[in-house]
Structure 1
Amino acid sequence: MVTPPTAQALPIFARQTGQPCGNCHTDVLGLTPFGRRFKLGGYTLGGGPFRKTLFPIPPSGKVFPTADELKSVLVPGTASQDAVAQLRSYARQTTSDAKLAKPAATPEQAITDAFAAVQKPEEEPGWFPPLAVMLLGGYTHTQAPDPNWTPGVNHWNANNNTGLAQASLFGGGAMSDNVGVFAQLTYSFPAIADASGKWGWDNVDVRYAQSGQIGGVDVLFGITAHNNPTVQDVWNTAPAWTHPYFTTQLGFTGPATSTVIDGAYSQRVAGLGGYLFINDQLYLEATGYKTLGVVAQTRLGADPLASLGQIAGVAPYGRVAWEQRFGDHNLMVGGFASRFEIAPWSVSGVPVPLDTTGNLADVPYGATNKYTDFGFDTQYQYRGDNYWVILKGAYIREEQRYDAGYIGGIVPANLTNSLNTLRASSTVAIGNDNRVVATGQYFRTWGSPDANLYQGNQDSVPDTTGFMAELAYLPFGSSRAPYWPWFNTRIGLQYFYYTKYSGDTVTSHDKNTFIVYSTILF
């Protein structure tokens, strides 16, 4: 959770939908087909013990979703008697077996019959503010003391630290039948070399969604406005939602170098895009990103200088994915592409001038550096009897061209470079609503040698290769658990093992990191 592109399965969504975590998530951030549909539908699905909006939505609707709203989550060919089982929390909380004893003609009718027994006017349930709080903390140990540590800068030691990593306030859910929000405000505690922590906005995703039919084919259409490239994605292979889902701000939890699409402009852009989900199979998206003004970034807690510069014009992003279900098997193959033309923060080595407020001025320059990213990804999910098996893979290649001549105060040795990222992981989630989760991940970054960009790295390369292993336990994940849907927590162990770090194969093991963490949500 220390990196910006993160979030958690939230009590606010559990309260709104009436669903336990395991209906939407295979592993907290990992989404099931039902969870993906909830997000694509704009976070608007209701069904929980509270009214989903402050004021009733006219005409006075029903608390529980209709069969049309939920038919997409049913596996084609599902037997009638199994329809409600796929939405087990509704049946457990709102009906008895006797109410479902009469067989239905279709799976959709089985859902409708189950909901009809418990329908009540929307004015009857109360409304609760759609807010949640998360605390993340833990213990971090590295094989060798962190070389970035300086005595007296903050309260951390060079090694073996225990403390808080992050505190977040979340707001979100349905604003109307078609508009929903996910928003996060975060206080990040200081990292090993930081003098202090800071408040800032975190992931924000505002959506409008509408479903219908075109030529007899089901189509879901949506518009998304967000502040982090790929945070709008619903598969856990895009950079914003990949492993590790949680970690502390200390230690070494991945490569030191990454592509632009992989978090370089988190919370520093405004993105607006549209998407189609056709027949619950084909996903198409087009989005454009524009850098926020320097003053706006500063006020929102996003350091402008932590990025490569200002995006010239609009950076385009496209996404395509094909998802196919075969009974309990679900397979996605897809790809994405983006192009960022960036005016760096210095020109000919001279920093961009300050404006009258003391902030860096928003000054456009004709010369830009170009970063073109191509990504290919796949995800396989198998839903067994009280367990999930998930396999994921993603590859990103970035082509770089430095027409502006500078990156910060550095002149790249080459006019063009390339950078590659590969991630592959497997996860097994076992128990009541995925109570125990084990994950293994292989990650590798490699690219062109550049004596100036990677000065100090062995062989002047960005290459990093490593493995991550995690074991997590979620004691309060189900609808029958104590304090659900008001409280949730996750306890995890992580180990990062490096065979190469920034080109170094001799002392790479010094970066090996062991973390014990816990998240608390309420």
Structure 2
Amino acid sequence: MLKSSRVAVFAIFLIASASTYALPSFSEQTEQPCKVCHLNIGELTPAGRQFKLKGYTQGKRVSPFSLTATASMTKVKSTASSADASVTMPNNGKLIPEEANLYVAGKLSENVGGNIKWTTSFANTTPLYGSAGVQTGVHVGHDFFLDASDVRFASEDVIASKDVVWGVTLNNAPAVQDLWSTTPVHAFPYRSSSLLNAWGIGHFGPTSMLDGGLTSQTTGVGAYAMINDAIYVEVSNYFKTSSGSSALQLSGPVNAINSSSNPYWRLAWNKVSGNDSYMIGTFGMVTNLARDPFVVGSASGKYTDKGLDAQYQHISDTHSVSAQATYIQEQVEWGSRSVGRSHDSSMSRLNTFRTKLTYDYARRYGSSIFYFRSNGSTDNFYWSYNQDPTVVTGACNQNNSLLAYCSSNGNPKTNGMGFELYYVPTPKVHIALQQTYYRNFLGGSTFIDNSTGASRAAADNNLTYLYVTYAY
């Protein structure tokens, strides 16, 4: 059922690359150190959420340009099942320049501000397959595109005796405008390896369409309001983005929406009390996806995503703790032509859950532990390995495969846990070591390597990710 799967298999790359960084331009604009708005590289404090809520306009106007660059090393535990590891996972275990980002971010006028981001990727982005479906290489490098970005108008008023901050957002990624690090785009991990795109699936396995599948491919317009700093509400709608410019397109497969009505909504309760802050919320989106004419066996579908999330933070100058949890339930109604061709039935579902706990000392040293799980409908036409060269539908066919790895039982079940350690020697440098352990991957403790048909253990995907990000 892999709702996001169907062609949203590269979502995790976008989630990783779209995180909110502590930009030097923001620090200069507000005349405050980065730690006032950020707990760590991807998580906003109450002050940071207020800055974003009010349209990035607090402070003075300064040069809005910032740059970030990331170098990394990814090591997957085993590539023994692959036909040729140098083809299916090049640069595994090697230190590489991973990506660079250019930001135009900050105050544009008294009521208008934004965070606009362009990304160039030097790492693997897209698996390449031969006519028999065997992975023959990976498209490497120098992709350039408009990443998850947000421009907004914001105002503060008293309405019906209540303090209201309200505004309008223009963005290109559902949930990028959200204030908490629980919703897609901003959710943990705040970075994950771009090399994992060679799998054709993300770090945490199958994810929902809302969870990054439309990033950089849509234009969204919405209205939001925070009432008495307690109730946050937003309603937006997303449209297909059509552009011939690579600077306005996604690097990777396109999940083209085929309707002018793709609503997104958000409702959250927020409380800040001294050093503690709390949030409980819900969000969701309905997306009508067109069949991709360039992907054999792809299917149109109506994706209905519903999410629940919660966050707690205790933030002080010395000891800080934060915890997040997110659950997304997705249901997809497939087009009639896909039944018996690309999917087992006319409807499928996918449920995903993530949770993370972080301890931070003096905004210099930190550690996180995390857990993730996805499960859903069995869909043999989509997920199961099929070595028959005459089959041209589904994600694991041997002619136009979307996935490097396939299920042995048609189920997307994936779960695991891990930890991350980070060190911030200066506000401009973030060094982190991330370790992920898989208990199940695509259906169970074993799955299939699509390049050979060989069985592979979930633990073979255990990975180490070391990265350094520099901001200027």
TM-score tier after normalising by the smaller chain length: 0.7 to 0.9
C-alpha deviation, 1:155, in angstroms: 10
- Matched position secondary structure for 2:459: helix
C-alpha deviation, 1:403, in angstroms: 2.2
Paired with 2:115 and 2:80, the residues of 1 have a C-alpha distance of 35
| Among candidates 184, 207, 212, match of residue 263 of structure 1 | 212
Counterparts in 2 of 1:12 and 1:146: CA distance versus 1, 3 Å: farther
> In the alignment, which residue of structure 1 is the partner of 2:263?
316
- Contact residue 18 and residue 185 of structure 2 kept, 8 A: yes
- Contact residue 451 and residue 460 of structure 1 kept, 8 A: yes
> In the alignment, which residue of structure 2 is the partner of 1:113?
none
C-alpha deviation, 1:314, in angstroms: 2.1
In the TM superposition, what are the counterparts of 1:11-90 in structure 2 within 5 Å? Answer: 11-46=24-59, 52-53=60-61
Name stretches of at least 5 consecutive residues in structure 2 with no aligned partner: 1-11, 128-137, 386-406, 447-456
> In the alignment, which residue of structure 1 is the partner of 2:377?
448
Counterparts in 2 of 1:154 and 1:391: CA distance versus 1, 3 Å: closer
Q: What's the TM-score once normalised by structure 1's chain length?
A: 0.74
Q: Deviation per CA, 1:102-146, whole angstroms, max 9, x where unpaired?
A: xxxxxxxxxxxxxxxxxxxxxxxxxx5211111101111111028
**Percent identity of equivalent pairs:** 31
Q: Which moved more, 1:252-261 or 1:161-170?
A: 252-261
- Contact residue 230 and residue 271 of structure 2 kept, 8 A: yes
C-alpha deviation, 1:171, in angstroms: 1.1
- Matched position secondary structure for 1:458: coil
Paired with 1:270 and 1:161, the residues of 2 have a C-alpha distance of 37
Q: Which moved more, 1:383-392 or 1:464-473?
A: 383-392
- Matched position secondary structure for 2:185: helix
> In the alignment, which residue of structure 2 is the partner of 1:138?
72
Please identify the structure whose Cα radius of gyration is greater: 1
> In the alignment, which residue of structure 2 is the partner of 1:109?
none
AA aligned to 1:35 is G
- Contact residue 371 and residue 399 of structure 1 kept, 8 A: yes
1:156 is aligned to 2:90: yes
Counterparts in 2 of 1:348 and 1:170: CA distance versus 1, 3 Å: closer
Counterparts in 2 of 1:308 and 1:175: CA distance versus 1, 3 Å: closer
Query: What's the RMSD between the two structures over aligned residues?
Result: 2.5
- Contact residue 394 and residue 424 of structure 1 kept, 8 A: yes
C-alpha deviation, 1:347, in angstroms: 10
Q: Which moved more, 1:494-503 or 1:189-198?
A: 189-198
AA aligned to 1:311 is N
- Contact residue 347 and residue 406 of structure 1 kept, 8 A: no
Q: Deviation per CA, 1:308-335, whole angstroms, max 9, x where unpaired?
A: 3333222001100001123322110000
> In the alignment, which residue of structure 1 is the partner of 2:471?
521
- Matched position secondary structure for 1:306: coil
> In the alignment, which residue of structure 2 is the partner of 1:380?
312
- Contact residue 276 and residue 313 of structure 2 kept, 8 A: yes
1:460 is aligned to 2:392: no
Counterparts in 2 of 1:278 and 1:471: CA distance versus 1, 3 Å: same
AA aligned to 1:461 is N
Paired with 1:13 and 1:463, the residues of 2 have a C-alpha distance of 41
In the TM superposition, what are the counterparts of 1:358-397 in structure 2 within 5 Å? Answer: 368-384=300-316, 386-397=318-329
Paired with 2:412 and 2:195, the residues of 1 have a C-alpha distance of 21
Name stretches of at least 5 consecutive residues in structure 1 with no aligned partner: 47-51, 54-127, 352-366, 478-487
Paired with 2:223 and 2:292, the residues of 1 have a C-alpha distance of 31
> In the alignment, which residue of structure 2 is the partner of 1:504?
444
Counterparts in 2 of 1:231 and 1:470: CA distance versus 1, 3 Å: same
> In the alignment, which residue of structure 1 is the partner of 2:286?
339
> In the alignment, which residue of structure 2 is the partner of 1:326?
273
AA aligned to 2:160 is G
Q: What's the TM-score once normalised by structure 2's chain length?
A: 0.82
The structure carrying a bigger strand percent of its residues is: 2
C-alpha deviation, 1:152, in angstroms: 7.1
> In the alignment, which residue of structure 2 is the partner of 1:195?
139
1:237 is aligned to 2:237: no
C-alpha deviation, 1:276, in angstroms: 0.5
C-alpha deviation, 1:24, in angstroms: 0.4
1:286 is aligned to 2:235: yes
AA aligned to 1:30 is E
- Contact residue 57 and residue 113 of structure 2 kept, 8 A: yes
Q: How many residues align?
A: 412
Counterparts in 2 of 1:423 and 1:13: CA distance versus 1, 3 Å: same
Paired with 2:76 and 2:23, the residues of 1 have a C-alpha distance of 31
Q: Deviation per CA, 1:3-59, whole angstroms, max 9, x where unpaired?
A: 34324111110111111111101112211111000001000111xxxxx33xxxxxx
- Contact residue 255 and residue 501 of structure 1 kept, 8 A: no
> In the alignment, which residue of structure 2 is the partner of 1:80?
none
- Matched position secondary structure for 1:341: strand
Q: Deviation per CA, 1:160-217, whole angstroms, max 9, x where unpaired?
A: 1210110111111001110001011111113174333111111211010000101221
- Matched position secondary structure for 1:467: strand
> In the alignment, which residue of structure 2 is the partner of 1:437?
366
Paired with 1:374 and 1:402, the residues of 2 have a C-alpha distance of 18
1:470 is aligned to 2:420: yes
Paired with 2:158 and 2:459, the residues of 1 have a C-alpha distance of 56
Paired with 2:155 and 2:425, the residues of 1 have a C-alpha distance of 36
In the TM superposition, what are the counterparts of 1:415-434 in structure 2 within 5 Å? Answer: 415-431=346-362, 434=363
- Matched position secondary structure for 2:290: strand
- Contact residue 130 and residue 172 of structure 1 kept, 8 A: yes
C-alpha deviation, 1:475, in angstroms: 1.2
